[in-house]
Amino acid sequence: MELDITSWLSMAIRWLHLITGIAWIGSSFYFIWLDNHLRKAKDEVDTAKGVSGELWAVHGGGFYHKQKYSVAPPEMPGELHWFKWEAYFTWISGFLLLAVVYYYGASVFLVDASKYAMAPLTAVAIGIAFLIGGWLGYNLLCRSPLGQNNVAFGWVWFGLLTLSAWGLSQIFNDRGAYIHVGAMIGTVMAANVFMVIIPNQKKVVADLVAGKAPDPRLGQVAKQRSLHNNYMTLPVLFIMISNHYPQTFANPHGWLILAGIGAVGWVIRHFFNLKHRGETRYGLVVLAVAGYIGVMALAAYLRDQARSDVTVDANQVSFTQVQQIMDKHCVACHGTEATHELFDEAPNGVIFEAKDVILKYRDQILERAVVSQDMPLGNETGMTDEERATLAAWLKKTETD
């Protein structure tokens, strides 16, 4: 009995990543929502204790009364709940998934020889360097005078992420470039928790235990990093699912499409953050929808502009030619006996060895091998424009026959 260990391991890690990611994002969204809904405490006793805001809520058949202190309570409570492991395990599982899929399979998931020929280990080193460099650059910006202005900081950070997306797209294949931008953002978010938010909270707790007055600046910095994480969440979530939508990344200007979708995500998050504070600005909804439509139109236009001029007469193409192309570029992965070093069996169980199966997946083949051209992965087999045009001519002809 053969067991595809890599595939099962990848699935287990991806599942863990999803579970912990939901837990982290859920708590992050909830506490931002809670912060935005707090109202000034009415009880004079609570105010005297340092309560800056409170909220009544009902859920699951019960009533809850939540209070927030401007800095900290007068004394350390007997039991204190921390929110950190969700973030830690989300990053750990995400990095493990990156390693199992993109680093172990760097020769096809990262390297694109037509852009930049390099050894797989070199590609892995560059990928890790971007993760570390992203955090160092972000943290320096936060500690600079620019970090005092969230709006200005946001624009500069957005510009640096866009520049990184462009740079990665020049050396990695399109899919690998996208996922590394997401990994950069995820690393920054997790590092915010590990390096700033939790340490600051521990300092406040230590001061309380020692009977000292905590430094209010510690809480302010932690809150700012938490707010940054909140705005970066939606772009990261999109990148996590982007491999299913090659029309976004398999584009000559995929980095620009990613920047547009990231901006739309930030607008959506800003709308909800304002709404939770009682400011409903539907103009932001219109802006988000218009922006998304604009990104779609731009992606379609850029893809059309980059399309090859090679044409093939469909009447001169036989199935034998098509089968030869499939055997050369597809069957190593999508064959009964997959021979590619990264696959023990055909992905998704799709085997391109029979005419009826090829016709069944006509639309998917056209999208991935002809339109977006993100297959074969990293164009490892060197599929030419003429071969893609031949495949397209035959598939479109059989559709009308």
**DSSP character at residue 201:** H
In terms of Cα–Cα distance, which of 267, 191, 178 is closest to 229? 191
> At residue 1, does pLDDT exceed 50?
no
**pTM of structure:** 0.84
* Predicted confidence (pLDDT) per residue in 276-324, tens digit: 888 999 999 999 999 999 999 998 888 877 777 777 877 788 888 888 8
Sequence-ordered alpha helix ranges (H) in 38-146: 44-48, 85-97, 106-109, 120-143
Are 48 and 16 in contact, with CB atoms under 8 Å apart? Answer: no
* Predicted confidence (pLDDT) per residue in 81-124, tens digit: 888 999 999 999 999 999 998 999 898 889 988 888 899 999 99
**What is the distance between the terminal CA atoms of the chain, rounded to a whole angstrom?**
43
**Rounded to an integer, what distance in angstroms lies between the CA atom of residue 382 and that of residue 58?**
60
> At residue 354, does pLDDT exceed 90?
no
In terms of Cα–Cα distance, which of 133, 113, 216 is closest to 180? 133
Question: Two tokens at 285?
Answer: 């909804």
26-57 as b/e: b if 16+ CB within 10 A: eebbeebbebbbbeebeeeeeeeeebebbbee
Question: Two tokens at 74?
Answer: 């007068």
